[in-house]
Amino acid sequence: MEIELGKGKKVRRAYGFDEIALVQSIRTIDPEDVDTSTEIGGIKITAPIIASAMDSVVDPTTAALMSQYGGLGVINLQGIQTRYEDADAILDKIAAASREEYVQLMQKIYTEAVKPELLEKRIKQIKAKKGIAAISVTPQSAEEFGPIVEKAGADMIVIQATVVSTVHKSKNFKSLNLVKFCKSMKIPVVVGNCVTYDVAISLMETGVAAILVGIGPGAACTSRGVLGIGVPMATSIVDCAAARDAHFKKSGKYVSVIADGGMVVSGDICKAIACGADAVMIGSPLAKAKEAPGRGFHWGMATPNATLPRGTRIKVGTIGTLKEILLGPAKFDDGSQNFVGAIKTSMGTLGAETIKEMQKVEIVIAPSLLTEGKVFQKAQQLGMYK
């Protein structure tokens, strides 16, 4: 329903995760009997959770661990891991930097050139640990690095930027032809980010295996403040899932929708799936893992931009191992651990046996969901209010 923002300007209401709630059905299922598996470009994962391609979240070790625990980790192939042989020394510098100096330090660190030999090395390190090698590059570098990573044994390539479109105009750079690129690659291509039905449809028509949905909701991202761009996640996922279903009906090809960012606790992940996501991509919740390369810190991919940084370094701390965060057992009561267990329990409670059934559960607008009856938690900073 359109609302008049002012004379001659119509707008519509959009919703975030905190404004919606999932509604029980007439049946329930034992959580151990639900199936949380999903498929992205022919790659099946038993947990619908993907670790963001951020230097504070994924390195070869955590990428392999994500695979071991049923998910998927995407490594940033234009980040610290491919610019420096000794990435750990650089990560130590970032963790030790003061609040006043870190932006300029980041900009300096990321001026080091990406080394093609490190692209191959990092992929082989993941494969040596029997992990799924999913890598991320920017649209400007896809044609250069795509053949290299495919030859090195990568299983998936993610082309990622703040916003990706199929109609790009530039006097300085040649636009990436997604149709041609997808046809040339023998591995699935994932592309993002987008937040609207029309853009999602246009991206799906290029032959990609999946799209990333979300602009600016990440904990360390400042794009919404710097650029003023974004659509709250619940609405953007629903719109892009509708595009997926329409595209499938027309073409017979299923393009997965991956909700990217804005999910802090397990309930957010459950809501994202209910809105239509086939999987979620998260960063800050996994940056809290003992094995995460960020050393208790987390930063956005656009933080080191040389002219207009659109990310910040936040302190997230360390709350447990990656296994505890993904599979439990949870040591905290705030939804920050045992994500897969929470997804299973939510699905069972809602009577959804599969991810596809979870996408069909009833949703209501519920702005009081997180505050109703929680006065003591809020006052004492417990549970949901830690």
- The CATH number of the domain where 318 resides is what? 3.20.20.70
Digitized pLDDT (tens) for each residue of the chain, 386 residues in all: 788 888 889 899 999 999 999 999 999 999 999 999 999 999 999 999 999 999 999 999 999 999 999 999 999 999 999 999 999 999 999 999 888 888 888 888 988 999 989 999 999 999 999 999 999 998 888 999 999 999 999 999 999 875 565 554 455 556 788 999 999 999 999 998 899 999 999 999 999 999 999 987 766 666 676 777 878 999 999 999 999 999 999 999 999 999 998 999 999 999 999 999 999 999 999 999 999 999 999 987 665 665 655 667 889 999 999 999 999 999 998 999 999 999 999 999 999 999 999 999 999 999 887 777 777 777 787 777 77
* pTM attached to this predicted model: 0.93
Give the list of residues 6+ apart from residue 171 with CB closer than 8 angstroms, or none: none
Helices assigned H by DSSP within 153-274: 178-184, 197-204, 223-227, 233-251, 266-274
> How far is the C-alpha of 161 from the C-alpha of 369, rounded, in Å?
33
Please check whether residue 1 lies inside any domain of the structure.
no
CA distance 225 to 174: 29
Number of neighbouring beta carbons within 10 Å of residue 334 = 17
Residue ranges making up the domain that contains 231: 43-322
Q: Is the CB of residue 136 less than 8 Å from the CB of residue 258?
A: no
Q: Which residues have a Cβ under 8 Å from the Cβ of 317 and sit 6 or more positions away?
A: 288, 296
Active site residue 240: no
CA atoms within 13 A on the CB side of 119: 23
83 CB neighbour count, 10 Å cutoff? 19
Question: What's the domain count of the chain?
Answer: 1
The answer to whether residue 137 is domain-embedded is: yes
Domain assignment present for 347: no
Residue 363 is assigned to a structural domain of this protein:
no
Is the separation of the CB atoms in 51 and 74 below 8 Å? yes
Q: Tell which phi-psi region holds residue 276, choosing left (phi > 0), alpha (psi between -120 and 50) or beta.
A: left
- Let me know if residue 313 belongs to a domain: yes
Residue 253 lies in a domain: yes
- Cα angle 241-242-247, degrees, rounded to a multiple of 5: 95
How is residue 336 annotated by DSSP?
Answer: -
- Amino acid at site 79: G
**64 is a domain residue:** yes
CA–CA dist 43, 12 (Å, integer)? 37
Q: How far is CA 369 from CA 19, 274, 333, in A?
A: 7, 16, 17
Number of other CB atoms surrounding residue 386 within 10 Å: 11
- Decide: 45 and 30 in contact? Cβ < 8 Å: no
Cβ neighbors of 224 (< 8 A, separation 6 or more) are 215, 216, 217, 230
b/e per residue, 288-306, with b = 16+ CB within 10 A?
bbeebbbbbbbbbbbbbbe
Tell me, yes or no, whether 297 lies in a domain.
yes
Q: Please pick, among 194, 221, 270, 275, the residue that the annotation labels catalytic.
A: 221
- For the question of residue 295 being annotated catalytic, the response is yes
